[in-house]
Amino acid sequence: MSLTDFGAWALRQLDPETAHRLAIRALQVTPLPAPGADDPILKTRIAGLEMSNPVGLAAGLDKNGEALEGLSRLGFGAVECGSVTPRAQPGNPRPRLFRLSEDRAIINRMGFNNEGLEPFAARLARRPKRTAIGANLGANKDTEDKAADYVAGLKRLAGLADYFTVNISSPNTPGLRALQGREALDDLLGRIHEARPADGAPVFLKIAPDLIGEEIGMIVEASLAHGVDALIVSNTTLERPASLRSPFAGEAGGLSGAPLKPIALRALQAAAEASSGRLPLIAVGGIADGADAYERIRAGASAVQVYSALIYEGPGLVGRIKRDLASRLRADGFSSVAEAAASAR
């Protein structure tokens, strides 16, 4: 077990939110070595965004952009920080983060707790350049015009991030998922399109897995109509599979980790069918090894993101996924991730 993976094990012995804060602190102060060069077969391009490999960090770990230097040294192709809202907010009352160890899962109802745009922008201005950095945008809980909050985030952070994610799929902010309806979505995406960064940084849309195929098809068409560059499929789920064994299974919030895998895969397949290659897809949800990552790529994803599995597997997971992906791509005769993703069509 590597030192970083041992640290992940030690953190799992603590209260989840305390462990999260300590992990961020460790990533700030631990002098990690720079990652080695990635296998060339893993090089990936999404909407003009160059990544040395297709394995990204999902939003939620580094909400305030505090540990970007440390995270950039773990071997990710991209690191997404946030969600950030225009104004600081404390989030929901504690306890609000639950480790379902028996199920290799997490339930959270954090509620977009973050320090707000200004500290976030200051940290992004000092971000490392070795890894693509994304900013995940959210809306304040008490904002009536939530679309205005996304526009404010996009304008304030223009030029500071390599890409932006419009997160309308968190289940922990009242009214947020209503933005996935066509009328509200057209209004939001129209305003986002008008506020796009002048430097051409791509804008992605992150959706919930708790949607039927027709709803996902509608979101794909709206995204194409308004120039969204890629779809991230998907956020946490409100479903509670009957297989859950943890005593925390009944806690309110979004479920992530291993039980989300079939739900997120189903949503990805629906998005791939609806988009027919017209819109790049990024897969997230229940990805815990190279086989999971490769399955999503063969289902049409151009890249993947991980988060919950890191809690159980440690940061060494990133390297293991990359090595396995490279091996699987070559074994199946593919020369790139893009070629493998296109085979789904």
Asked whether the beta carbons of 255 and 239 are under 8 A apart, the reply is yes
DSSP letter at 286 equals S
Asked whether the beta carbons of 188 and 179 are under 8 A apart, the reply is yes
**Whole-angstrom distance, CA of residue 79 vs CA of residue 139:** 20
Return the structure tokens found at 30.
């631990």
336 is catalytic: no
Q: Which contiguous run of DSSP H or E holds residue 27? A: helix 16-29
Asked whether the beta carbons of 139 and 84 are under 8 A apart, the reply is no
DSSP string, 181-206: SHHHHHHHHHHHHHT--TT---EEEE
Return the structure tokens found at 105.
């899962």
Which of the following is catalytic: 170, 234, 256, 302?
170
User: Hey, which residues are catalytic here?
Assistant: 170
